[in-house]
Amino acid sequence: MIKKVKPYNTHESKKLQISKMFDKISIKYDITNKLISLGLDTIWRRKLVKIISLIKPKKTLDVATGTADVAIELTKIENNKVFGIDISNNMIELGEKKIIRLKLDNKIKLINQDVEKMKFNSNSFDAVTIAFGVRNFENINKALKEIFRVLKSNGILVILETSIPENLILKNIHKLYLRIIMPIIGLITSSDINAYKYLALSTMNFPNKSVFNNILLKNGFIKVNVKKHSFGIVSIYSASKP
């Protein structure tokens, strides 16, 4: 069982709260990300895309694309057409502005779509990426089933997600950082302390690597692998569709 953590104390669904929250913090999202990750977020996204580049995909889907940083990185793979989906209009709008500025609009298409009910044909993507998206999904199993459906056979899913260090001392320092420093940075940059409290709490409640590996296996994926980075504060999972 995955504990459901929501940003706000209201009766709205997690999905609705999440789309409203990202709409609200979108303007300061990139800068806050840089600050709370000490600039490491760019390196982590590059590591994710490096794994994808090994299979030389022609068509890749970036789920929970946000302001499109992973989608943009994915265009560095030769002849790779990239689609990005997200449920926050404001995040997509900022992503689109970046894409136009970088003259990448012939290589990337961003669409407002929910991962749990995508409109893409089955077996249509060589690869799917998700960076810092999974812990925000309302129903992780539904999302993984849909991703499995749209992936081609032998296609790969690569997920970058926050995690908790295993070393006890680092674990406690990290907890302190998540509980105190991160909401303060969020408050200063985006003025929504609840959003960054939620982002910290959702990291603390995200399943550990063996639980998440099992979730991937139960949803039909094979060759499930996980590698921790930066002392275990993020993990990169990869899995294939048979």
Ligand X SMILES: C[S@@+](CC[C@H](N)C(=O)[O-])C[C@H]1O[C@@H](n2cnc3c(N)ncnc32)[C@H](O)[C@@H]1O
Size of the site for ligand X (CB under 6 A): 22
Does position 66 bind ligand X by CB under 6 A?
A: yes
Q: Which stretch binds ligand X (CB under 6 A): 113-121, 172-180, 205-213, 219-227?
A: 113-121
For 234, the 3-state DSSP assignment is: strand
H-helix or E-strand spanning residue 32: helix 14-36
The total number of residues written for the chain in this structure: 242
Please select the residue that binds ligand X; options are 6, 69, 158, 198, rule is CB under 6 A. Answer: 69
Does position 75 bind ligand X by CB under 6 A?
A: no
Draw the binding track, 132-171, toward ligand X (x: CB under 6 A; -: no contact): xx--xx----------------------------------
Please select the residue that binds ligand X; options are 73, 116, 146, 192, rule is CB under 6 A. Answer: 116
Which amino acid, one-letter code, is at 238? S
Neighbours of 238 (CB within 10 A): 20
Q: Which stretch binds ligand X (CB under 6 A): 85-93, 166-174, 214-222, 228-236?
A: 85-93
Contacts to ligand X from residues 170-229, by CB under 6 A = none
Q: What are the start-end ranges of the H helices in 66-208?
A: 69-74, 89-101, 140-150, 168-176, 182-190, 193-204
Tell the residue number behind the tokens 């980075």, with chain if given: 229
